[in-house]
Amino acid sequence: MDIMKSILIGLVVLILLPNATLAHKVNLFAYAEDGMVYTESYFSDGRKVMNSTVEVFDAKKNKLLLTGKTDKNGEFSFKIPQATGLRIVLTASMGHKNEYLLSEDEVRDALGMVSASEKSLPESVEKEKKQISPKSLTQIYDNQLEAIVEQAVEKKTAPIMRKLIKIEKQIQKPSLQEILGGIGYILGLMGIGIYFKYKSKR
C-alpha cells in the first residue's frame, strides 16, 4: 500500500512539472521572400522555441543542405541554398519535432525565377515597345508605369493566391477528424439504441 502511494505521488509530481505538459506539439512556419527563407517556431501554448536545431533538406533528394539554431525570438532565417522544394525540420527539446515543406514554386518565386504560371509582360507594354507613334511623352510614361505597377503587384500576389488555393483545396477533402467524428456519432447512437431497446426488453 505504501509503495502504491509513493508511486502515485511520484506520478502526480511528474504531471505537475512545469515544462513537460504545456507543449502538445511544436509549430513551425516558414516563408520565402527575396532570396531568403524566414522561419518562426513556437510551442502550441505560444512560447517561442529558443536555441533549437533547424535542419534544411532538399525536398526530393533528402540531402541535408544546412543547419542552424533558432534565436531567442524563435526565429531562424537563411539564404536560399538552391532552387528546389525545401523541407525544414525543427527539433525542439523533450522529443518535439516538426517539419515544414516549402514548395518549389514558393522558393523559385522568392528567387525571382519565372515559375510555370507567371505571365509575361502585359501586352500594353509590348505594344508600346513596337510602335513609336506620335503620342505625348507623358502618356507613354503613364502607360508604362501602369503596366510596370500591375506586373509588380501580380508578382507579389501570385504566390499568395497559390497558397490560398492550396489551403482551399485542403479544406474540401473530408479530413480524418471528420471521419473519426462521424464514426464516433454512429457508435454513440448505437449506445443510445442499445439502452432504450434494453429497457423495453425488460
Interaction site with another protein (CB under 8 A): 174, 178-179, 181-183, 185-187, 189-190, 193-194, 197-198, 201
In the complex, minimum distance from the CB of residue 189 to another protein, in angstroms, rounded to a whole number? 6
Determine contact, residues 24/44, Cβ cutoff 8 Å. yes
In the complex, minimum distance from the CB of residue 169 to another protein, in angstroms, rounded to a whole number? 15
Residues 15-53 as b/e (b if ≥16 CB within 10 A, e otherwise) read eeeeeeeebeebbbebebeeeebebbbbbeeeeebeebe
User: Closer to another protein at the Cβ: 83 or 190?
Assistant: 190
User: Closer to another protein at the Cβ: 81 or 193?
Assistant: 193
User: Closer to another protein at the Cβ: 61 or 173?
Assistant: 173
In the complex, minimum distance from the CB of residue 181 to another protein, in angstroms, rounded to a whole number? 6
User: Closer to another protein at the Cβ: 10 or 182?
Assistant: 182
In the complex, minimum distance from the CB of residue 123 to another protein, in angstroms, rounded to a whole number? 33
Question: What span, in angstroms and rounded, lies between the C-alpha atoms of 38 and 83?
Answer: 16
Question: What span, in angstroms and rounded, lies between the C-alpha atoms of 112 and 33?
Answer: 9
